[in-house]
Amino acid sequence: MAITPCAISSIGASAASTEKIYADIVYEDDGTIEANIIFENMPELASGGFFVTIGDGWEFDIDDFGEHYEPYVRQHASFTSSQVNDKKLFFTFTTSHNYNMNGTVISVHLKKAANNTPNNSTVNVDVVLLSDIENSNPIYEMTNPIMLSAHEYMIGDTNGDNKVDARDSSFLLYVLDVNNNQPLYVNNIKNNHTTYFPNAKCAAAADVDKDGIISTVDSSLIRAYYADIMSEIPYNGIIGKIDFFEIFND
């Protein structure tokens, strides 16, 4: 599947490299899978249109209301979706004023196809229109990150044995110790995480509070999780759950 990065023509405005729109695939608590479509660092917007294209490893799902997606409440924005084909939906939103649309704007319901693998389970967002109330045309340039793959991993499993226990907490401390007790950044080691965590599925497995930094805080959280589980204390956090780690071309 080839998706061309969407560059929106600029009209006298400079490009900001931090503006982006992308998909984050997540398991919900009930086991359903969602692709959260996320706007980051965008200016205030009044309208927009974008395609969401899924790889061969996914099928669109529908909820109890027959809907393909859940819109997040965003400052009076109204959404409409239409299906282009089995792998592509078009979404458009309009509002009455310019609003901050940053964050998750919609969650698209997904289910795994029989042939689902990390390499065919991508979700890409292709923007065709974003504008404010004064401009009928897009007002800046943006290139969307293209998702190259989406890998499943267990949150907190730093040693890659498919379970989370005290050894994962200890191994994380060991890795930090080897790194001169400096925290590690998920973004910095995402392409060579096995240098630090040889058997982990991805760098994100060690960042259990998902703040982008692998630190002693994460080790403490894993240890607390293990204590809760062994004490049969109800645990409501995300450690031990399966999540997706996406690799983008950005």
**Binding window for Ca ion (CB under 5 A); candidates: 86-94, 120-128, 131-139, 152-160:** 152-160
- The residue with tokens 């080839």 is 2
Among 53, 124, 159, 219, binds Ca ion (CB under 5 A): 159
The token duo for 49 is 């249109």
Closest CA to 205 of 232, 169, 248, 249: 169
Residue nearer to Ca ion on the CB measure, 132 or 157? 157
Tell me the closest approach of the beta carbon of residue 245 to Ca ion, in angstroms.
14
Residues 215-234 that bind Ca ion (CB under 5 A): 218
Tell me the closest approach of the beta carbon of residue 209 to Ca ion, in angstroms.
4
Distance CA 43, CA 131 (A): 9
The token duo for 243 is 């999540």
Tell me the closest approach of the beta carbon of residue 197 to Ca ion, in angstroms.
10
Distance CA 28, CA 35 (A): 10
Residue nearer to Ca ion on the CB measure, 48 or 156? 156
Residues 192-211 that bind Ca ion (CB under 5 A): 207, 209, 211
**Binding window for Ca ion (CB under 5 A); candidates: 29-37, 79-87, 161-169, 175-183:** 161-169
Residue nearer to Ca ion on the CB measure, 218 or 243? 218
Distance CA 116, CA 149 (A): 11
For position 188 contacting Ca ion by CB under 5 A, the verdict is no
Residue nearer to Ca ion on the CB measure, 68 or 201? 201
Dihedrals phi, psi of 172, to nearest 5 degrees: -60, -45
Tell me the closest approach of the beta carbon of residue 220 to Ca ion, in angstroms.
10
Amino acid type, 42: M
Dihedrals phi, psi of 182, to nearest 5 degrees: -95, 140
Amino acid type, 83: Q
78-85 and 88-99 strand pairing: antiparallel
Among 40, 67, 161, 250, binds Ca ion (CB under 5 A): 161
Give me the residues that bind Ca ion (CB under 5 A), please.
Answer: 157, 159, 161, 168, 207, 209, 211, 213, 218
